[in-house]
Amino acid sequence: MASLKSIIRQGKQTRSDLKKLRNTGKVPAVVYGYGTKNTSVKVDEVEFIKVIREVGRNGVIDLGVGSKSIKVMVSDYQFDPLKNQITHIDFLAINMTEERTVEVPVHLTGEAVGAKEGGVVEQPLFDLQVTATPENIPEVIEVDISALEINDSYSVADIKVSGDFTIENDPEESVVTVVPPTDEPTEEEVEAMEGESATEEPEVVGEDKEDDKEENKDEE
C-alpha cells in the first residue's frame, strides 16, 4: 500500500487562490466518506501521479491528513488537457472490510490464431464491473486470446477469475471476438483496375452529330 501526504486547507478559497495553489505544483482535494468528515486538503501533483502509477486507478492509498492516516481510494479527479495538469481530486475514505463495486479495465494478452490467419480482433467490452473488498480489487483483468480462431469469441462467462472478487456483468456479454477478414482487392487487382480505367477511350461529345452532317452533304 502506497502512502501520500496531504496538507489541510484552511478557510474558504477563491478561484484565484486555487489557481495560485496549482501554479505551485499542488492539487486541491477533498477527503470524505467512512469514519471522517469532509476535509479540504492539498497534495503534491508529482507525488500523487507516482502513487497512482504504483497502486492503479482502484488502489488503496494511505493518506496522511493532519495527525491521522486514512485509507482512501481515488473516487474522482479532474484533468485539464490544455495545461496538462490535474486540477482537483476526490479521496474517498473506505472501510477495508466492506465490498465495493468498481470498473476494472480488461487487457487482452497473446496473439489470436485467427489474427495470424488474417482475422480481425474486436473488443466490444473494455471494462468489467467487479465487486470485492478494497484490497482484493484487481488493477486489471487479463484475458489470453491466443487460442481464438476466426469466428471464435469469449464472453464474460469464459473469463477465468483467479482472485477473490466477483464479476457483475451479464455472463453472456461478449468481451472479445475474432471476425473474418474483409474481402479487399489485392495490389495487383487494384493496378489492373486502374490500368483498365486509363485505357478506356473517352467519348467524343458531338461525334454523332458531325457524322450526320457528313451524311446529309453526301445526299445533296
Task: Round to whole Å and give the CA distance between 99 and 165.
Answer: 9
Dig out the grid coordinates for 111 from the structure. Answer: 496473439
- Give backbone dihedrals phi and psi of 199, rounded to 5 degrees, phi first: -90, -10
Task: Round to whole Å and give the CA distance between 72 and 61.
Answer: 5
Is residue 103 very low, low, confident or very high in pLDDT (cuts 50, 70, 90)?
A: very high
pTM of the model: 0.73
Please check the confidence at residue 213 and state whether its pLDDT lies above 90: no
List the domain range (segments joined by +) for residue 84: 2-93
Task: Round to whole Å and give the CA distance between 193 and 107.
Answer: 42
- What local confidence, expressed as pLDDT, does residue 72 receive? 97
Same domain, 85 and 101: no
Nearest to 38, CA basis, from 65, 69, 73: 65
Look up the CATH number of the domain holding residue 145.
Answer: 2.170.120.20
Same domain, 120 and 84: no
Same domain, 65 and 145: no
Same domain, 59 and 105: no
* Domains held by the chain: number: 2
Task: Round to whole Å and give the CA distance between 58 and 74.
Answer: 7
Look up the CATH number of the domain holding residue 31.
Answer: 2.40.240.10
Nearest to 28, CA basis, from 37, 36, 16: 16
Same domain, 135 and 38: no
Tens-place pLDDT, residues 45-77: 999 999 999 999 899 999 999 999 999 999 999
Dump the DSSP string for the chain.
-EEEEEEEPPS---HHHHHHHHHTTEEEEEEEETTEEEEEEEEEHHHHHHHHHHH-TT--EEEEETTEEEEEEEEEEEEETTTTEEEEEEEEE--TTS-EEEEEEEEEES--HHHHTT-EEE-S--EEEEEE-GGG--S-EEEE-TT--TT-EEEGGG----SS-EE-S-TT-EEEEEEPPP----HHHHHHHHHHHHHSPPP-TTHHHHHHHHHHHHH-
Dig out the grid coordinates for 173 from the structure. Answer: 456479454
- How would you class 148 by CB atoms within 10 Å of its CB: exposed for 0-12, middle for 13-18, buried for 19 or more? buried
- What local confidence, expressed as pLDDT, does residue 41 receive? 97
Tens-place pLDDT, residues 127-166: 999 999 999 999 999 999 999 999 999 999 999 888 899 9
